[in-house]
């Protein structure tokens, strides 16, 4: 899919393509963890896809930018609520390439 915006969903037919194939979970890697990958992850969650970010298959110009984006994607997205517990608003899970490859190999 050729995209013209930071996120892959905003300017493309990616959602329609994924839905037509029955895709519910997206495995993300790519350049600029803190910009394009992050935007795509957020847009995917807004469309009710589950997201898995492959941490060692992404990168940013500065390591701390990458780390902050990963933290935002994997941590709770709200302050503790009732009884001091996080409400459970997470953008996605974080994995590494080795674990993703192993999981995909089991599907074959």
Domains of the chain: 14-107 (3.40.50.850)
pTM score of the predicted model: 0.85
Asked whether residue 24 carries a pLDDT value surpassing 60, the answer given is yes
Asked whether residue 1 carries a pLDDT value surpassing 90, the answer given is no
CB 2 within 8 A of CB 12: yes
CB 75 within 8 A of CB 32: no
Average pLDDT, the chain: 88
Average pLDDT of the residues in 26-40: 94
Q: Please report the pLDDT score of residue 78 as a whole number.
A: 57
Percentage of the chain modeled with pLDDT above 90 = 73
């Amino acid at each position: 899919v050729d995209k013209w915006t930071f996120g892959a969903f905003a300017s493309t037919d990616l959602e329609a393509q994924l839905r037509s194939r029955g895709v519910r979970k997206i495995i993300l890697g790519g350049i600029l963890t803190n910009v394009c990958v992050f935007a795509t992850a957020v847009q995917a969650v807004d469309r009710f896809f589950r997201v898995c970010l492959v941490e060692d298959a992404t990168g940013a110009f500065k390591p701390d930018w990458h780390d902050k984006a990963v933290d935002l994607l994997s941590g709770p997205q709200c302050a503790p609520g009732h009884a001091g517990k996080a409400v459970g608003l997470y953008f996605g899970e974080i994995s590494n390439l080795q674990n993703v490859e192993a999981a995909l190999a089991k599907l074959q």
